[in-house]
Amino acid sequence: MKIKKIKRNGLTLFELALVLLVLGIIIGIVYANLDIGVVDKAKVLKVKQIQSKQVPILLQQFEDIVGSLNEGDSLELLTKKQENANWDPVDEELLKDPWNRFYFICSDPSGQQHICSYGKDGNPGGEGENSDFYLDDKASWPSWLK
């Protein structure tokens, strides 16, 4: 008796599952080794090239049209329509620090007002990414931002 050989077309469910498992493992390894620092580099670039130039100008315009901000005031005020003033609200993403918190007004030891961020931890003081800095004073920028 002769046994006929059956010709198979396609993959079995087991083979398909095995291929998907191998692809999942490869994608997991690649994802784990990605340089997530690219996002951080983009945030630094946003601060240095966009915010440090535009936010002080927007703040000056706001103060000319609406009035001065006080120490501790959040720049979130610039994103809202102001009563009795011809102020066009600003996109809030422009007014947030690299950790997605609004910049605020603070004073340096000499009493001069600045646009401030408390750094990654959101608390006064700190080192590295937790360092406070004045957006409008590059001399105060921590080393990771320079």
pLDDT band at 35 (very low <50, low <70, confident <90, very high): low
- Looking at per-residue confidence, does 111 or 33 come out higher? 111
Q: What is the 3-class SS of 28-41, one letter each residue?
A: HHHHHCCCCHHHHH
- Looking at per-residue confidence, does 38 or 124 come out higher? 124
Domains in the chain, please, with CATH?
37-140 (3.30.700.10)
90 vs 113: CA distance, rounded Å? 21
What digits encode the pLDDT tens for the residues 127-139? 888 899 999 999 9
pLDDT at 20: 94
Pair 66, 78: CB distance under 8 Å = no
Who contacts 19 (Cβ-Cβ below 8 Å, separation ≥6)?
11
Q: Which amino acid is at 53?
A: K
**Residue 1 predicted with pLDDT over 70:** no
The 3-state DSSP class for residue 117 equals strand
- Looking at per-residue confidence, does 37 or 68 come out higher? 68
What digits encode the pLDDT tens for the residues 41-53? 888 888 998 999 9
pTM beyond cutoff 0.75? no
Average pLDDT, the chain: 88
Report, as an integer, the average pLDDT of 99-115: 94
Percent of the chain with pLDDT over 90: 60
Burial class (CB in 10 A: 0-12, 13-18, 19+), 56: middle
Pair 117, 97: CB distance under 8 Å = yes
Q: Report the DSSP pairing between strands 113-117 and 104-107.
A: antiparallel
What digits encode the pLDDT tens for the residues 5-20? 777 777 788 988 999 9
The 3-state DSSP class for residue 74 equals strand
As given in the structure block, the two tokens for residue 108 are: 């340096």
42 vs 3: CA distance, rounded Å? 66
